[in-house]
Amino acid sequence: MDYGTHAGSRASGIIRSILSWAFFFVSVLALIWLIQNFVARAYAIPSGSMEDTIEIGDQVWSEKISYYLREPAYGDIITFDDPEIPGRTLIKRVIATPGQTVDLIDGVVYVDGTPLDEPYTDGKPSVPLDAANDVSITYPYTVPAGSLWVMGDNRTSSSDSRYFGPIKKSSVSGRAFVVYWPLTHLGVL
């Protein structure tokens, strides 16, 4: 009997098994990276700026495919890079797109002179906020090319374009489309 050959084949079988598992784990990590960077990403909501549409502690999926095919539009709930804190992602609703004029009159948002019907604000007034740092917002305000005007649904508790100005379209990371957790809040946005 040749015990050396049997031991060698068993060792090569173990190595093959380890390599197979390593390939599997690397493939899974690559797939997760691809999905998060090009398809969809999950976010936990830490603040009440989008209440009552999205509650504190809700978890949402934000998909990226829509904006490969079309531009963000009025009413879309988007995720985007915080213009003030690098590495932080915010979630707000698109109110106006490039070239549109935003005005806030007596707690009502007007876009191009037309008052918006916003049942999602639950009647909370939309008032101007003190602008951040060197941002100067005067109304009526025309959204510049390549930018979006975004606001939280909880207008009395949201730092949004009223505070930091319009956001760059290039900072948009996706369109929030579903609350998936907790299950009691499960729903399409």
Here the tokens at position 151 are 């606001």
76 and 12 in one domain? Answer: no
149 and 70 in one domain? Answer: yes
47 and 31 in one domain? Answer: no
CA gap 155, 129 in Å, rounded:
10
Told to judge if 49 belongs to the known catalytic residues of this protein, a careful annotator would answer yes
144 and 86 in one domain? Answer: yes
115 and 29 in one domain? Answer: no
User: Which one of 9, 12, 27, 49 is the catalytic residue?
Assistant: 49
CA gap 184, 110 in Å, rounded:
34
Q: How many CA atoms lie within 13 A of 130 on its CB side?
A: 1
97 and 59 in one domain? Answer: yes
User: Which one of 64, 92, 124, 169 is the catalytic residue?
Assistant: 92
119 and 91 in one domain? Answer: yes
With contact defined as beta carbons under 8 Å apart, do 116 and 108 qualify?
yes
55 and 3 in one domain? Answer: no
| Domain containing residue 21 | 1-38
With contact defined as beta carbons under 8 Å apart, do 160 and 152 qualify?
yes
Structural domain total, the chain: 2
- What is the CATH number for 120? 2.10.109.10
Q: What is the pLDDT of residues 38-70, one digit of tens each?
A: 788 999 999 999 998 999 999 999 999 999 999
CA gap 51, 91 in Å, rounded:
11
**Across the strands, what pairs with 59?**
44, 181
> What amino acid occupies position 152?
G
The whole-model pTM stands at 0.82
Predicted local distance difference test score (pLDDT) of residue 135: 63
22 and 103 in one domain? Answer: no
Q: What is the pLDDT of residues 109-141, one digit of tens each?
A: 999 999 999 998 887 888 776 655 556 788 999
174 and 85 in one domain? Answer: yes
